[in-house]
Structure 1
Amino acid sequence: MPKILRLFVKYVDALNYRVGRCAMYLIFLMAGCLLYSTFSRVVLGVPVNWVLEMSQFILSAYYLLGGAYAMQQGAHVRMDLFYDRFTPKKKALTDIITILCVIFYLGVMFAGGLSSTNYAYVYNQKNYTAWAPVLWPIKTLMTIGVFLLLLQCISNLIKDFAIWRGKPIKPASYVPDAAPQEGQIV
Protein backbone atom coordinates (compact mmCIF):
# COMPACT_ATOMS: atom_id res chain seq x y z
CA MET A 1 0.00 0.00 0.00
CA PRO A 2 1.25 3.52 -0.66
CA LYS A 3 2.69 5.32 2.34
CA ILE A 4 -0.03 7.99 2.30
CA LEU A 5 -2.73 5.33 2.73
CA ARG A 6 -0.83 3.66 5.57
CA LEU A 7 -0.46 7.06 7.27
CA PHE A 8 -4.18 7.77 6.77
CA VAL A 9 -5.05 4.43 8.40
CA LYS A 10 -2.59 5.05 11.24
CA TYR A 11 -3.87 8.54 12.09
CA VAL A 12 -7.57 7.78 11.66
CA ASP A 13 -7.26 4.68 13.82
CA ALA A 14 -5.33 6.64 16.47
CA LEU A 15 -7.89 9.47 16.48
CA ASN A 16 -10.89 7.16 16.72
CA TYR A 17 -9.20 5.06 19.38
CA ARG A 18 -8.65 8.11 21.59
CA VAL A 19 -12.07 9.66 20.95
CA GLY A 20 -13.77 6.31 21.61
CA ARG A 21 -11.87 5.77 24.84
CA CYS A 22 -12.91 9.24 26.04
CA ALA A 23 -16.51 8.78 24.89
CA MET A 24 -16.79 5.68 27.07
CA TYR A 25 -16.85 7.87 30.15
CA LEU A 26 -19.96 9.73 28.99
CA ILE A 27 -22.02 6.82 30.32
CA PHE A 28 -20.98 7.83 33.84
CA LEU A 29 -22.02 11.43 33.19
CA MET A 30 -25.39 10.22 31.95
CA ALA A 31 -25.81 7.96 34.98
CA GLY A 32 -24.95 10.91 37.23
CA CYS A 33 -27.63 13.05 35.56
CA LEU A 34 -30.24 10.35 36.00
CA LEU A 35 -29.18 9.74 39.61
CA TYR A 36 -29.48 13.47 40.29
CA SER A 37 -32.96 13.47 38.74
CA THR A 38 -34.06 10.56 40.92
CA PHE A 39 -32.56 12.10 44.05
CA SER A 40 -34.16 15.50 43.46
CA ARG A 41 -37.57 13.99 42.69
CA VAL A 42 -37.71 11.33 45.41
CA VAL A 43 -35.76 12.89 48.28
CA LEU A 44 -36.25 16.62 47.71
CA GLY A 45 -39.62 16.40 46.00
CA VAL A 46 -38.46 18.80 43.28
CA PRO A 47 -38.58 17.39 39.73
CA VAL A 48 -36.10 18.88 37.27
CA ASN A 49 -37.12 19.39 33.65
CA TRP A 50 -33.73 19.40 31.97
CA VAL A 51 -32.29 16.07 33.17
CA LEU A 52 -34.11 13.66 30.88
CA GLU A 53 -33.33 15.76 27.83
CA MET A 54 -29.69 16.21 28.87
CA SER A 55 -29.43 12.44 29.35
CA GLN A 56 -30.71 11.92 25.82
CA PHE A 57 -28.12 14.38 24.48
CA ILE A 58 -25.33 12.63 26.41
CA LEU A 59 -26.49 9.21 25.18
CA SER A 60 -26.53 10.50 21.58
CA ALA A 61 -22.98 11.81 21.94
CA TYR A 62 -21.96 8.54 23.62
CA TYR A 63 -23.03 6.23 20.83
CA LEU A 64 -22.18 8.53 17.93
CA LEU A 65 -18.69 9.41 19.16
CA GLY A 66 -18.11 5.77 20.11
CA GLY A 67 -19.39 4.30 16.83
CA ALA A 68 -16.06 4.63 15.01
CA TYR A 69 -14.25 3.05 17.96
CA ALA A 70 -16.73 0.14 17.96
CA MET A 71 -16.15 -0.36 14.24
CA GLN A 72 -12.39 -0.26 14.74
CA GLN A 73 -12.63 -2.89 17.47
CA GLY A 74 -14.93 -5.12 15.39
CA ALA A 75 -17.73 -4.72 17.95
CA HIS A 76 -20.59 -3.97 15.53
CA VAL A 77 -23.17 -6.69 14.99
CA ARG A 78 -22.61 -8.81 11.89
CA MET A 79 -24.65 -11.59 10.34
CA ASP A 80 -22.30 -14.55 10.13
CA LEU A 81 -24.35 -17.17 8.33
CA PHE A 82 -21.75 -17.77 5.61
CA TYR A 83 -19.08 -15.20 6.46
CA ASP A 84 -17.25 -17.39 9.01
CA ARG A 85 -16.60 -20.05 6.39
CA PHE A 86 -14.99 -17.63 3.93
CA THR A 87 -11.25 -17.39 3.41
CA PRO A 88 -9.59 -14.16 4.59
CA LYS A 89 -9.52 -12.86 1.00
CA LYS A 90 -13.23 -13.61 0.48
CA LYS A 91 -14.04 -11.95 3.78
CA ALA A 92 -12.07 -8.88 2.74
CA LEU A 93 -13.88 -8.75 -0.62
CA THR A 94 -17.26 -9.08 1.11
CA ASP A 95 -16.29 -6.31 3.53
CA ILE A 96 -15.15 -4.09 0.64
CA ILE A 97 -18.52 -4.44 -1.08
CA THR A 98 -20.55 -3.79 2.07
CA ILE A 99 -18.35 -0.94 3.33
CA LEU A 100 -18.84 0.92 0.05
CA CYS A 101 -22.59 0.94 0.75
CA VAL A 102 -21.98 2.13 4.31
CA ILE A 103 -19.65 4.89 3.05
CA PHE A 104 -22.37 6.12 0.67
CA TYR A 105 -24.93 6.11 3.48
CA LEU A 106 -22.59 7.94 5.88
CA GLY A 107 -21.73 10.48 3.19
CA VAL A 108 -25.43 11.33 2.85
CA MET A 109 -25.81 11.43 6.64
CA PHE A 110 -22.78 13.71 6.97
CA ALA A 111 -24.11 16.13 4.34
CA GLY A 112 -27.47 16.21 6.14
CA GLY A 113 -25.74 16.67 9.47
CA LEU A 114 -23.76 19.64 8.16
CA SER A 115 -26.93 21.22 6.80
CA SER A 116 -28.87 20.62 10.01
CA THR A 117 -26.03 21.88 12.22
CA ASN A 118 -25.64 24.99 10.10
CA TYR A 119 -29.37 25.68 10.35
CA ALA A 120 -29.31 25.20 14.14
CA TYR A 121 -26.36 27.55 14.48
CA VAL A 122 -27.55 30.30 12.11
CA TYR A 123 -31.12 30.41 13.45
CA ASN A 124 -30.24 29.60 17.09
CA GLN A 125 -32.60 26.62 16.91
CA LYS A 126 -34.02 25.52 20.25
CA ASN A 127 -35.78 22.35 21.23
CA TYR A 128 -39.55 22.58 21.74
CA THR A 129 -39.59 21.67 25.42
CA ALA A 130 -39.94 23.53 28.70
CA TRP A 131 -36.15 23.66 29.04
CA ALA A 132 -35.68 24.79 25.41
CA PRO A 133 -31.92 24.22 25.01
CA VAL A 134 -30.11 25.37 21.88
CA LEU A 135 -29.49 22.43 19.57
CA TRP A 136 -26.27 23.38 17.75
CA PRO A 137 -23.92 21.81 20.37
CA ILE A 138 -25.49 18.34 20.19
CA LYS A 139 -25.95 18.56 16.42
CA THR A 140 -22.28 19.46 16.10
CA LEU A 141 -21.27 16.43 18.19
CA MET A 142 -23.56 14.19 16.15
CA THR A 143 -22.08 15.45 12.88
CA ILE A 144 -18.55 14.92 14.20
CA GLY A 145 -19.51 11.38 15.23
CA VAL A 146 -20.83 10.58 11.74
CA PHE A 147 -17.67 12.08 10.19
CA LEU A 148 -15.40 9.98 12.44
CA LEU A 149 -17.38 6.87 11.52
CA LEU A 150 -17.02 7.78 7.84
CA LEU A 151 -13.26 8.13 8.27
CA GLN A 152 -13.09 4.78 10.07
CA CYS A 153 -15.05 3.13 7.25
CA ILE A 154 -12.53 4.47 4.74
CA SER A 155 -9.70 3.21 6.95
CA ASN A 156 -11.33 -0.23 7.13
CA LEU A 157 -11.83 -0.18 3.36
CA ILE A 158 -8.10 0.43 2.88
CA LYS A 159 -7.23 -2.35 5.36
CA ASP A 160 -9.65 -4.78 3.68
CA PHE A 161 -8.28 -3.91 0.25
CA ALA A 162 -4.76 -4.60 1.55
CA ILE A 163 -5.89 -7.98 2.91
CA TRP A 164 -7.61 -8.79 -0.41
CA ARG A 165 -4.34 -8.00 -2.22
CA GLY A 166 -2.48 -10.31 0.18
CA LYS A 167 -0.46 -7.52 1.83
CA PRO A 168 -2.24 -6.74 5.13
CA ILE A 169 -1.46 -3.56 7.05
CA LYS A 170 -0.07 -4.26 10.52
CA PRO A 171 -2.24 -3.01 13.40
CA ALA A 172 -0.80 -0.05 15.28
CA SER A 173 0.89 -0.56 18.62
CA TYR A 174 -1.21 2.17 20.32
CA VAL A 175 -4.30 -0.04 20.18
CA PRO A 176 -3.57 -2.65 22.87
CA ASP A 177 -7.01 -4.24 23.02
CA ALA A 178 -7.80 -4.24 19.32
CA ALA A 179 -8.48 -7.60 17.84
CA PRO A 180 -6.55 -7.91 14.59
CA GLN A 181 -8.65 -8.36 11.50
CA GLU A 182 -8.72 -11.73 9.82
CA GLY A 183 -5.49 -12.27 7.92
CA GLN A 184 -3.60 -9.35 9.50
CA ILE A 185 -0.03 -9.85 10.56
CA VAL A 186 0.42 -9.33 14.29
Structure 2
Amino acid sequence: MTLLERYIRAVDAFNRRIGRFAMYLIFALMGVLFWSSLSKYAGAPSLWTLEFAQFIMVAYYLLGGAYSMQLGDHVRMDLLYGGWSPRRKAAIDSVTVLFLIFYLFVLLYGGISSTSYAIEYGERAHSVWRPYMWPVKLIGVVGILLMLLQTIAELFRDILFLRGISVNHQSEAGL
Protein backbone atom coordinates (compact mmCIF):
# COMPACT_ATOMS: atom_id res chain seq x y z
CA MET A 1 0.00 0.00 0.00
CA THR A 2 1.39 3.39 -0.96
CA LEU A 3 1.73 6.38 1.33
CA LEU A 4 -1.25 8.04 -0.38
CA GLU A 5 -3.42 4.98 0.18
CA ARG A 6 -2.47 4.85 3.85
CA TYR A 7 -3.28 8.55 4.21
CA ILE A 8 -6.67 8.06 2.56
CA ARG A 9 -7.55 5.08 4.75
CA ALA A 10 -6.39 6.80 7.95
CA VAL A 11 -8.33 10.00 7.24
CA ASP A 12 -11.41 8.03 6.16
CA ALA A 13 -11.33 5.92 9.34
CA PHE A 14 -10.80 8.92 11.63
CA ASN A 15 -13.47 11.06 10.00
CA ARG A 16 -15.89 8.14 10.02
CA ARG A 17 -15.51 7.80 13.79
CA ILE A 18 -15.86 11.55 14.39
CA GLY A 19 -18.83 11.71 12.00
CA ARG A 20 -20.58 8.79 13.67
CA PHE A 21 -20.10 10.53 17.03
CA ALA A 22 -21.40 13.82 15.61
CA MET A 23 -24.56 12.09 14.37
CA TYR A 24 -25.61 11.51 17.97
CA LEU A 25 -25.30 15.19 18.84
CA ILE A 26 -28.77 15.58 17.36
CA PHE A 27 -30.11 13.80 20.45
CA ALA A 28 -28.26 16.22 22.74
CA LEU A 29 -29.77 19.06 20.71
CA MET A 30 -33.23 17.56 21.07
CA GLY A 31 -32.70 17.20 24.83
CA VAL A 32 -31.66 20.83 25.24
CA LEU A 33 -34.61 22.07 23.15
CA PHE A 34 -36.99 19.79 25.08
CA TRP A 35 -35.67 21.23 28.35
CA SER A 36 -36.16 24.73 26.93
CA SER A 37 -39.79 23.94 26.15
CA LEU A 38 -40.41 22.40 29.57
CA SER A 39 -38.81 25.27 31.46
CA LYS A 40 -40.81 27.85 29.48
CA TYR A 41 -44.03 25.92 30.11
CA ALA A 42 -43.21 25.76 33.82
CA GLY A 43 -42.83 29.55 33.89
CA ALA A 44 -39.06 29.52 34.55
CA PRO A 45 -37.37 29.73 31.16
CA SER A 46 -33.70 28.86 31.08
CA LEU A 47 -31.48 31.56 29.65
CA TRP A 48 -28.85 29.20 28.32
CA THR A 49 -30.85 26.68 26.29
CA LEU A 50 -31.23 28.32 22.88
CA GLU A 51 -27.63 29.52 22.73
CA PHE A 52 -26.36 26.14 23.89
CA ALA A 53 -28.54 24.48 21.25
CA GLN A 54 -26.85 26.69 18.64
CA PHE A 55 -23.43 25.57 19.90
CA ILE A 56 -24.45 21.92 19.65
CA MET A 57 -25.72 22.55 16.12
CA VAL A 58 -22.36 24.07 15.17
CA ALA A 59 -20.60 20.94 16.44
CA TYR A 60 -23.12 18.67 14.69
CA TYR A 61 -22.70 20.47 11.38
CA LEU A 62 -18.95 21.05 11.35
CA LEU A 63 -17.79 17.77 12.89
CA GLY A 64 -20.09 15.84 10.56
CA GLY A 65 -19.06 17.72 7.42
CA ALA A 66 -16.02 15.59 6.58
CA TYR A 67 -18.03 12.39 7.08
CA SER A 68 -20.75 13.75 4.80
CA MET A 69 -18.13 14.51 2.17
CA GLN A 70 -16.72 11.01 2.55
CA LEU A 71 -20.13 9.47 1.95
CA GLY A 72 -20.82 11.77 -1.01
CA ASP A 73 -23.89 13.17 0.75
CA HIS A 74 -22.96 16.80 0.24
CA VAL A 75 -24.84 19.02 -2.20
CA ARG A 76 -23.57 18.76 -5.76
CA MET A 77 -24.75 20.22 -9.04
CA ASP A 78 -25.43 17.10 -11.14
CA LEU A 79 -26.72 18.79 -14.26
CA LEU A 80 -23.74 17.62 -16.32
CA TYR A 81 -21.69 15.76 -13.72
CA GLY A 82 -24.15 12.88 -13.28
CA GLY A 83 -23.78 11.72 -16.89
CA TRP A 84 -19.99 11.72 -16.95
CA SER A 85 -17.82 8.61 -16.77
CA PRO A 86 -16.06 7.88 -13.45
CA ARG A 87 -12.71 8.73 -15.05
CA ARG A 88 -13.93 12.13 -16.28
CA LYS A 89 -15.49 12.85 -12.87
CA ALA A 90 -12.16 12.08 -11.18
CA ALA A 91 -10.29 14.32 -13.62
CA ILE A 92 -12.66 17.26 -13.13
CA ASP A 93 -12.81 16.71 -9.35
CA SER A 94 -9.02 16.66 -9.08
CA VAL A 95 -8.93 20.18 -10.55
CA THR A 96 -11.99 21.75 -8.92
CA VAL A 97 -11.06 20.40 -5.48
CA LEU A 98 -8.11 22.79 -5.48
CA PHE A 99 -10.58 25.68 -5.11
CA LEU A 100 -12.14 23.95 -2.10
CA ILE A 101 -8.71 23.37 -0.55
CA PHE A 102 -7.88 27.07 -0.97
CA TYR A 103 -11.24 28.05 0.56
CA LEU A 104 -10.74 25.70 3.52
CA PHE A 105 -7.22 27.06 4.12
CA VAL A 106 -8.62 30.59 4.25
CA LEU A 107 -11.38 29.45 6.64
CA LEU A 108 -8.85 27.60 8.79
CA TYR A 109 -6.58 30.64 8.96
CA GLY A 110 -9.50 32.86 9.98
CA GLY A 111 -10.79 30.28 12.44
CA ILE A 112 -7.43 29.91 14.15
CA SER A 113 -7.06 33.70 14.35
CA SER A 114 -10.56 34.11 15.80
CA THR A 115 -10.08 31.25 18.27
CA SER A 116 -6.74 32.58 19.52
CA TYR A 117 -8.33 36.01 19.97
CA ALA A 118 -11.20 34.47 21.94
CA ILE A 119 -8.78 32.60 24.20
CA GLU A 120 -6.39 35.53 24.69
CA TYR A 121 -9.06 38.09 25.53
CA GLY A 122 -11.65 35.84 27.17
CA GLU A 123 -14.26 36.67 24.53
CA ARG A 124 -17.83 36.07 25.63
CA ALA A 125 -21.12 36.05 23.75
CA HIS A 126 -23.24 39.21 23.89
CA SER A 127 -26.17 37.59 25.67
CA VAL A 128 -27.54 37.32 29.17
CA TRP A 129 -25.87 33.93 29.63
CA ARG A 130 -22.47 35.24 28.36
CA PRO A 131 -20.69 31.93 27.64
CA TYR A 132 -17.05 31.89 26.61
CA MET A 133 -16.73 31.70 22.84
CA TRP A 134 -13.46 29.79 22.54
CA PRO A 135 -14.97 26.28 22.93
CA VAL A 136 -17.37 26.67 19.99
CA LYS A 137 -14.71 28.41 17.92
CA LEU A 138 -12.25 25.59 18.66
CA ILE A 139 -14.84 23.04 17.53
CA GLY A 140 -15.22 25.07 14.34
CA VAL A 141 -11.47 24.99 13.71
CA VAL A 142 -11.36 21.23 14.31
CA GLY A 143 -14.31 20.72 11.94
CA ILE A 144 -12.66 22.82 9.22
CA LEU A 145 -9.39 20.93 9.69
CA LEU A 146 -11.20 17.59 9.35
CA MET A 147 -12.88 18.85 6.16
CA LEU A 148 -9.49 19.93 4.80
CA LEU A 149 -7.94 16.53 5.57
CA GLN A 150 -10.88 14.75 3.92
CA THR A 151 -10.71 17.04 0.88
CA ILE A 152 -7.03 16.22 0.45
CA ALA A 153 -7.87 12.51 0.81
CA GLU A 154 -10.48 12.87 -1.93
CA LEU A 155 -7.91 14.58 -4.15
CA PHE A 156 -5.46 11.74 -3.58
CA ARG A 157 -8.25 9.21 -4.26
CA ASP A 158 -8.98 10.87 -7.61
CA ILE A 159 -5.29 11.03 -8.54
CA LEU A 160 -4.84 7.33 -7.74
CA PHE A 161 -8.00 6.48 -9.67
CA LEU A 162 -6.66 8.30 -12.72
CA ARG A 163 -3.50 6.20 -12.38
CA GLY A 164 -5.56 3.01 -12.33
CA ILE A 165 -5.56 2.40 -8.56
CA SER A 166 -9.00 2.33 -6.98
CA VAL A 167 -9.11 3.24 -3.27
CA ASN A 168 -12.73 2.82 -2.27
CA HIS A 169 -14.26 4.14 0.91
CA GLN A 170 -14.03 1.62 3.71
CA SER A 171 -17.26 -0.17 4.54
CA GLU A 172 -19.34 0.70 7.56
CA ALA A 173 -18.72 -2.84 8.84
CA GLY A 174 -15.14 -1.82 9.63
CA LEU A 175 -16.24 0.15 12.71
With normalisation by structure 1, the TM-score equals 0.90
How far apart, in 2, do the equivalents of 1:151 and 1:37 lie? 36
Matching residue of 2:99: 101
Offset of 1:172 from its aligned partner? 2.7
CA contact (8 A) 1:88 1:163 kept: no
Contact between 1:30 and 1:55, CA under 8 Å: does it hold in 2?
Answer: yes
Q: What is the aligned-residue RMSD (CA, Å)?
A: 1.3
User: Which residue of 2 is the match for residue 26 of structure 1?
Assistant: 25
Structure 2 counterpart of 1:35: 34
Kept in 1, the 8 Å contact 2:12–2:169? The answer is no
Deviation for aligned residue 1:171: 3.2
Higher helix share: 2
| 2:126 matched residue in structure 1 | 128
**TM-score after normalising by structure 2:** 0.96
1:60 pairs with one of 52, 58, 61: 58
Aligned pair count reads 174
Corresponding residue for 1:15? 14
Counterpart of 1:12, as a letter, is: V
DSSP-derived class of the 2:139 partner: helix
The within-5 A match list for 1:117-156 is 117-156=115-154
Amino-acid identity (%): 46
Q: Which amino acid aligns with 1:104?
A: F
| Structure 1, unaligned runs of 5 or more | 178-186
Q: C-alpha distance in 1, partners of 2:77/2:17?
A: 28
Larger relative contact order, structure 1 or 2 (CA cutoff 8 Å, min sep 6): 2
Structure 1 residue runs of 4 or more that deviate by more than 6 Å after TM superposition: none
